[in-house]
Each structure stands twice: as C-alpha cells, then as structure tokens.
Amino acid sequence: MSGYVDLAVLRNVALVALLAGVGITVLFSVAVRAMTTAHEEPDQPVASSRLLAAGCLLIMLAAVAVGLWAVLAK
C-alpha cells in the first residue's frame, strides 16, 4: 500500500482525526456533565460548574475555528 499512499500522511491524518474527534466530544461531554450538575444538584457549587462548562465550550470553539482556518487557508 505504501506505493500508493504516503503512510506518514496517513498516520498523521489518523492521529489528528482521533485527537480532534475524541477531544471535542470529550470537551462537550464534560461541559454537558457540568451543566446538568449545576441544574440537577443545586447543593453543588453552581458557579464552578458553569465556569467549567464555559471553559470547555470555549476551548472547543477555538479548536473548531483553528481547524476550519487551517483547511480553508490551504
């Protein structure tokens, strides 16, 4: 197969896709967990849960923006 496809490119694509796909999903899941905690467990500190959720969503948005920029600027 190496005669047809650059295996180094293939490995990089697989690695970055894995990190991006899993990373963004995990960040969003942490944000969802924090938001549901803030809503369903009022005895827990609400502000810290919301801060965690906001932080995760911001990192996620930044990752998506960088990804789009990298592709469109190519």
Partner 1 sequence: MHDAALLIIVVSAALIFDFTNGFHDTANAMATSIATGALKPRAAVALSAVLNLLGAFLSVKVAATIAGGIVASGAITLPIVFAGLLGAIMWNMITWSVGLPSSSSHALIGGVIGATLVSAGTSAVHGHSIVAKVVIPALLAPVLTALVAMLATRLSYRIARPDERPRSHRYFRYGQLASASLVSLAHGTNDAQKTMGVITLALIADHQLRPGADPPTWVIVSCGVAIAAGTYFGGWRVIRTMGHRLTRIEAPQGFTAQTTAVAVLLTATQGGLPLSTTHITSGAVLGTGLGRRGAKVSWRVAGSMVIAWLLTLPAAALVAAGIGLIVDSGGSGQIVVVSAVAVVLLLGFYLWSRRNPVSAENVNETSDSFGRTLSSIERPVLETSGGLSA
**Site residues (vs partner 1, CB under 8 A):** 1, 4-5, 9-10, 12-14, 16-18, 20-22, 24-26, 28-33, 35-36, 39-40, 64, 67-68, 70-72, 74
Sign of the CA dihedral running 41, 44, 47, 49: negative
What would the two tokens of residue 73 be?
Answer: 């600027």
Rg over CA atoms, the chain? 18
In angstroms, the CA 5 to CA 31 distance is 38
| Pick 14 or 45: Cβ nearer partner 1 | 14
| Pick 21 or 45: Cβ nearer partner 1 | 21
Rounded least distance, CB 21 to partner 1, Å: 4
